[in-house]
Amino acid sequence: MIINGVTIDATFAEAFPMKATRAIITAQNEKWALISAQAMTGFATSVIACGCEAGIERVLDASETPDGRPGVAVLLFAMGGKSLAKQLETRAGQCVLTSPTSALFAGIDGGKRIPLGKNLRYFGDGFQVAKLIDGKRYWRIPVMDGEFLTEATTGQVEAVGGGNFLVLAESQPQALAACEAAIEAMRRIANVIMPFPGGVVRSGSKVGSKYAALNASTNDSFCPTLKGMCNTELPMEVESVMEIVIDGLSKEDIDQAMRVGMQAVCDLGAANGIRRISAGNYGGKLGPFHFHLQEIMA
């Protein structure tokens, strides 16, 4: 398959089951809602070392939030429900409770209920007050700038992590420009995040390492400086490869995000140095969700 001079490899991205939740952060203005959301989703690129994968889903206007203020929706993903709940509570306590003018609400009504502000209430040292509104429990916690309002719980749902595609280009600037175009398009899709910095990862990995202490190491087959030293996947003209990883609330959400992202790359095309789109997989052994690139773009 070739689209605008870009070869779409006959391969698939391999993804695995995760648990996920959404939280809504509001504040006095969009600036402070974003500051809180960025802090809450920091250091959350990969479950390999970060405990969870998290990111900003989208900015919300006042008509979309529970308290009628500007807000931000964030998504958090983890391998299990216990680790997801721990990461959510820790990040909410350290990054939202502490952030000026913030409030915190559930972003998913269904699914299994997990603590959002349920335990943060103890920070109120006995001065906290519970409110039950339309069957939902909220906590009002006194803080120095006034009051922190938080919903007690949010929903945990089944999700998918690890959808991905690789952009193979003639130069580093061309690979990055293509990925930036892809991320801009993918951020319009609901229910997904691209958890790496700016949505792009340059240090794609393979399972295992020559060093026993590591369970992942550099994806040497796609490293341009190793063409003559390993079983490379790269032709001579490809000098840079970058990867976009996608987590989503469903397989269909990731399908859609990959489709618009790969189309944005193809729109730049061979004229802008884009040679191929490929994907990372482990022979189908990592996870049950397979995203076949040519089927997605058919």
Sole residue written with tokens 């559930």:
106
Q: If you average pLDDT over residues 269-281, what whole number do you get? A: 96
- Residue ranges per structural domain of the chain: 2-14+159-297, 19-157
Please give the sequence-ordered ranges of beta strands (E in DSSP) within the chain, or none if there are none: 2-3, 6-8, 12-26, 53-60, 71-78, 103-106, 112-115, 129-133, 136-143, 146-151, 153-169, 192-193, 205-207, 216-218, 240-248, 274-278, 289-292
Q: How confident is the model at residue 180 (pLDDT cuts 50, 70, 90)?
A: very high
> How far is C-alpha 20 from the chain's CA centre?
10
Tens-place pLDDT, residues 281-298: 887 777 899 999 999 999
Alpha-carbon torsion angle 213, 46, 288, 253, nearest 10: -170
Assign a CATH topology to domain 19-157: Alpha-Beta Plaits (3.30.70)
Quick one: pLDDT at residue 70?
98
Residue 176 belongs to what H/E stretch? helix 172-186
Quick one: pLDDT at residue 269?
98
Tens-place pLDDT, residues 217-256: 999 999 999 998 999 999 999 999 999 999 999 999 999 9
Domain 2-14+159-297 sits in CATH 1.10.10.60 = no
2-14+159-297 and 19-157 in the same fold: yes
Q: If you average pLDDT over residues 130-137, what whole number do you get? A: 94
